[in-house]
């Protein structure tokens, strides 16, 4: 049900209405019902009449970022600041003792503390911290710590955890009680009438967030019952509350002017925030504690892996009739994440069991569209395999089992990728050619939408300056730019006439950036504040010009009185305001936001059957997202999502030695990521037939790309790779199997 669906308004008080909105906690989205005012207010207006919004905009902070002027948390330097760093447990499960005596004697070391002693349950878990005057002294201090490590039995793989003699990972058992859904007997009966049935198991490895800026904070010394924390966070307001406890203060201002990525991993202050706060409080010195790259890989969360066994059947026309699935989520010490099956596609009868399998590894955290990429890989692969078994066109089978929006998008993406001219629509290329090209598809959905947490202030100064302020953080998606554009559009100003101030809790409340809810929560509040500022300005000018406020028009040439025909330049109009100027507050407006988005992606790949080399040649995405605030920025989000999915498809996986329980690739040299040479031609199509309010776009764009690539590989050569990443050795083994068959 849409957030604006009238069915959500039953039982509302007079002058109010009830709506469903997304609520995001730690990156996971649920829908809740709230009550809002049912009043008239600002409108986005016709899209073809917009001057800035829904156009190609250059980021207002672009120059600062490319020249290095933008200040990230890593860049903060304060007088008397100390550097701090963790020492982590070297193995997956151990009894640990910590001797800090030698470390405290190292020149330059100010403090060394135990973070955790006794049982340590994952490799890299912080056990000690050193604070020193220089980074070099920190490293010397860490090397001087004497760890007593008594190895304990561990389970770092699914198989080890489920073995009969497995060591205990979770006190409640190494696997959660399965969650069951559907009627297995009805599904078994439905399979009997299917024209074709496929069965397969699909495996997904753990993927790391790989944020360019690691987790951490710079905590200033608390004074007068207040403190300032510079924090790389997706939630300025939520993390401010977390810091109050360890700092023992009533007020904390969190500052996050620029941020080097989060992707769902930075909702918490974490152990790094807590320890930095305790050190700053006790040592009376600012503390700079940012995770090392190795720490980032080992204790800052990840996208959980999964094993999903699927049985899928359909009729001769390609309608999905029955589905049975069994899913193991692999989230280390966490519960893992999976969106469930069936995913997106309509299946007449289905049943599912799903559980978490625990291991001695760092717990998963939210990562862009939590659980959806996993579900996509299982579902899209199974649909593809069934299409081949039925001899049905790969696009047509999808169109027959989804709604109107996805059908329309499938047609558009198919044309762009060259499907109409492609010779292998129902069968893979099984010829003897050494170089083959294949095409694959994948669909996405996401909720998005907004909720009432942002409060925006727009100020107009007598000198003509305009400022828009809100505490919202920018993860790199372009918040400053669309805040600037919305205000400038409302007041008839150029982008250069507005300054957007974000990333400080003192600027006003803001929602956490998760679930693609930032734009849909913030943009309506910005519009409301700008609308109120323009209204107040018009009322003030009407008195000066002896006119009616409704006759005052703001446009690119200044301010115009439609009745007297008198025009004032912007600065001249502002000069009439007096020393106080104008200050207006804006809050979330339900009518300016919507939720629920759809996307389709396609990939074209080239396979060399002699070497196993796999090259992605082209990727296409069509995506709806309601009102596009910045077309350049929206396409950039699509490109980023496709690159992230491509990297997952071809390269990314955490590697832990199952015999030693140690991490093998906790660095950017050994953890493989897609780089510039792997990026193909990419086409991003914004679905302009979507005429709803602002929704959000980022999560959906990362969901189906890896699935489309895997499907394209099969289409190219007949090898079905059912586990990621899609590497040359797997492909060559599959080709050898085809020859034997």
Domains of the chain by start residue, with CATH:
41-70+450-592 (3.30.365.10), 78-152+215-290 (3.90.1170.50), 388-448+594-740 (3.30.365.10)
Q: Tens of pLDDT along 104-118?
A: 999 999 999 999 999
Q: What are the distances in angstroms from CA 544 to CA 466, 550, 577? A: 20, 14, 9
Q: Facing residues of 28 across strands? A: 25
Tell me how far apart the alpha carbons of residues 192 and 78 are, in angstroms, rounded to a whole number.
71
Nearest to 520 by CA among 368, 698, 694, 700: 694
State the burial class of residue 328 (Cβ atoms within 10 Å of its Cβ: 0-12, 13-18, 19+).
buried
Q: What are the distances in angstroms from CA 35 to CA 8, 13, 123? A: 10, 9, 46
In this structure, how many other beta carbons lie within 10 angstroms of the beta carbon of residue 56?
10
Q: Is 637 helix (H, G, I), strand (E, B) or coil?
A: helix
Tell me how far apart the alpha carbons of residues 439 and 618 are, in angstroms, rounded to a whole number.
9
In this structure, how many other beta carbons lie within 10 angstroms of the beta carbon of residue 393?
16
Q: Are 215 and 466 in contact (CB under 8 A)?
A: no
What residue ranges in 141-286 does DSSP mark as E strands? 146-151, 179-182, 196-204, 216-219, 226-231, 251-255
Q: Is 226 helix (H, G, I), strand (E, B) or coil?
A: strand
Q: What is the pLDDT of residue 19?
A: 55
pTM: 0.94
Q: Are 200 and 310 in contact (CB under 8 A)?
A: yes
* Residue ranges in the chain whose pLDDT is less than 50: 1-8
Tell me how far apart the alpha carbons of residues 319 and 338 are, in angstroms, rounded to a whole number.
24
Q: What is the pLDDT of residue 27?
A: 61
Tokens representing residue 122 in the block: 């994952």
Tell me how far apart the alpha carbons of residues 379 and 168 are, in angstroms, rounded to a whole number.
32
Tell me how far apart the alpha carbons of residues 237 and 173 are, in angstroms, rounded to a whole number.
36
Tokens representing residue 16 in the block: 């109010």
Q: What is the pLDDT of residue 8?
A: 45
Nearest to 72 by CA among 243, 232, 181: 232
Q: CA gyration radius for the chain?
A: 28
Tell me how far apart the alpha carbons of residues 644 and 619 are, in angstroms, rounded to a whole number.
12
Q: What is the pLDDT of residue 74?
A: 97
Tell me how far apart the alpha carbons of residues 39 and 384 are, in angstroms, rounded to a whole number.
48
Q: Tens of pLDDT along 71-92?
A: 999 999 999 999 999 999 999 9
Q: What is the pLDDT of residue 34?
A: 72
DSSP type of residue 568: E
């Amino acid at each position: 049900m849409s957030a604006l669906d009238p069915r959500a308004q039953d039982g509302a008080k007079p002058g109010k209405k009830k709506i469903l909105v997304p609520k995001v906690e730690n990156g996971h989205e649920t829908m809740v019902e709230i009550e809002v005012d049912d009043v008239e207010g600002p409108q986005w207006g016709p899209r073809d009449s917009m001057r800035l919004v829904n156009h190609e905009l250059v980021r207002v902070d672009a120059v600062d970022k490319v020249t290095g002027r933008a200040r990230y948390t890593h860049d903060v330097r304060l007088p008397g600041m100390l550097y701090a760093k963790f020492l982590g447990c070297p193995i997956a499960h151990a009894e640990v003792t910590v001797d800090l005596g030698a470390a405290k004697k190292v020149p330059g070391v100010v403090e060394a503390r135990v973070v955790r002693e006794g049982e340590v349950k994952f490799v890299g878990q912080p056990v000690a911290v050193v604070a020193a005057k220089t980074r070099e002294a920190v490293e010397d201090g860490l090397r001087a710590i004497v760890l007593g490590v008594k190895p304990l039995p561990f389970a770092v793989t699914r198989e080890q955890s489920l073995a009969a003699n497995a060591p205990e990972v979770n006190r409640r058992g190494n696997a959660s009680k399965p969650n069951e859904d559907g009627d297995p007997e009805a599904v078994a009966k439905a399979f009997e009438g299917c024209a074709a049935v496929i069965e397969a198991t699909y495996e997904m490895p753990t993927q790391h967030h790989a944020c360019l800026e690691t987790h951490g904070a710079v905590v200033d010394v608390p004074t007068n019952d207040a403190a300032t924390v510079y924090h790389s966070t997706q939630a300025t307001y939520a993390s401010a509350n977390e810091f109050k406890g360890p700092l023992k203060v009533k007020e904390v201002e969190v500052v996050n002017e620029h941020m080097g990525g989060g992707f769902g991993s930075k909702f918490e202050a974490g152990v790094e925030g807590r320890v930095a706060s305790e050190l700053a409080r006790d040592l009376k010195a600012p503390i700079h504690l940012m995770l090392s790259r190795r720490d980032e890989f080992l204790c800052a969360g990840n996208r959980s892996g999964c094993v999903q066994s699927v049985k899928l059947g359909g009729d001769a026309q390609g309608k999905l009739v029955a589905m049975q699935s069994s899913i193991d989520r692999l989230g280390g010490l966490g519960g893992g994440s999976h969106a469930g099956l069936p995913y997106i596609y309509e299946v007449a009868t289905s049943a599912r069991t799903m559980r978490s399998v625990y291991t001695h590894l760092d717990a998963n955290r939210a990562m862009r569209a939590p659980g959806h990429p996993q579900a996509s890989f299982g579902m899209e692969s199974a649909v593809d395999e069934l299409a081949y078994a039925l001899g049905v066109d790969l696009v047509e089978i999808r169109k027959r089992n989804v709604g109107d929006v996805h059908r329309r998008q499938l047609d558009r993406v198919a044309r762009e990728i060259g499907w109409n001219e492609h010779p292998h629509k129902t069968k893979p290329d099984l010829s003897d050619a050494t170089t083959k090209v294949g095409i694959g598809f994948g669909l996405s959905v996401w909720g998005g939408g907004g909720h009432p947490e942002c409060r925006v202030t727009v100020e107009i100064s007598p000198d003509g300056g305009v400022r828009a302020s809100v505490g919202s953080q920018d993860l790199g998606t372009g918040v400053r730019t669309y805040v600037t554009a919305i205000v400038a559009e409302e007041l008839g100003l150029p982008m250069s006439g507005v300054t957007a101030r974000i990333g400080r809790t003192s600027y006003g409340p803001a929602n956490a950036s998760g679930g693609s809810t930032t734009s849909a929560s913030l943009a309506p509040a910005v519009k409301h504040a700008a609308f109120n500022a323009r209204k107040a300005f018009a009322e003030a000018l009407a008195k000066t010009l002896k006119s009616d406020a409704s006759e005052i028009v703001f446009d690119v040439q200044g301010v115009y009185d439609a009745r007297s025909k008198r025009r004032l330049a912007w600065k001249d109009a502002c000069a009439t305001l007096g020393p106080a100027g104008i200050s207006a507050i804006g809050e979330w407006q339900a009518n300016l936001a919507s939720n629920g988005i759809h996307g389709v992606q396609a990939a074209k790949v080239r396979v060399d059957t002699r070497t196993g080399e796999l090259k992605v040649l082209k990727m296409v995405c069509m995506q709806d997202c309601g009102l596009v605030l910045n077309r350049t920025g929206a396409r950039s989000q699509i490109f980023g999502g496709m690159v992230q999915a491509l990297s997952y498809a071809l390269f990314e996986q955490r590697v832990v030695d199952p015999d030693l329980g140690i991490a093998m690739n906790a660095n950017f040299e050994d953890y493989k990521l897609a780089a510039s040479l792997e990026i193909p031609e990419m086409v991003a199509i914004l679905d302009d037939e979507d005429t709803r309010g602002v929704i959000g776009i980022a999560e959906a764009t990362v969901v189906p790309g890896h699935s489309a690539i895997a499907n394209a590989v099969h289409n190219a050569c007949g090898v079905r790779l059912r586990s990621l990443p899609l590497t040359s050795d797997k492909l060559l083994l599959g080709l050898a199997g085809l020859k034997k068959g």
